[in-house]
Amino acid sequence: MRKVIPADPALRRVTFAALVAVALLGAIGIAFTASFTSHLRDLAAHSPEEAAATAARALKTITALMAVLPVAIGAYLAYVAIRAWQTGEFPPPGTRVLRDTVVTVGPKSRVWATVGVIVAVLLLAGGITVVVWSWGLAERLAEASAGPLAY
């Protein structure tokens, strides 16, 4: 007999609310972009250094915020994958799921746990790398302030 973890209706509601929040934040970001770039263009006419510094701060803030999601998902996935490896069940006991899920046991569960760890490491490394790379880019932008922003 196969073991099945039943769907968690509360998790569905939380997931839906999170998706709505992300969509709203994205819409706000898109709406804000036009006015922000216009502001940068006006600022660059008067003070290219200040415009570059403002753009650099914005880039740092945006990438730091964007890195939160893959890092958080990667950390949670690593936790679930390690628990699955330890218990020999994937998903491990106590895991909340969006839909009824058949539990994989034995060697196949360890394969899924290994895949989970690999994906988690990629998400964590990618989230951190994006922040480090973009912060370096922002610093170079601020240093070269009189260049590309002075129209």
CA distance 125 to 111: 21
Closest-CA residue to 81 (of 107, 127, 112): 112
Give residue 12's identity as a one-letter amino acid code: R
- H helices within the chain, ranges in order? 9-46, 48-87, 107-143
133 close to 37: Cβ distance less than 8 angstroms: no
* Residue 151 confidence (pLDDT): 45
Q: Can you say how many angstroms the Cα of residue 150 is from the centroid of all Cα atoms in its chain? A: 33
Q: What is the pLDDT of residues 101-133, one digit of tens each?
A: 999 999 999 999 999 999 999 999 999 999 999
Average pLDDT over residues 71-100: 95
pLDDT at 150 > cutoff 90: no
3-state secondary structure of 90: strand
Which phi and psi angles does 145 have, rounded to 5°? -65, -30
Q: What is the pLDDT of residues 45-85, one digit of tens each?
A: 988 888 888 999 999 999 998 899 999 999 999 999 999 99
* Residue 147 confidence (pLDDT): 52
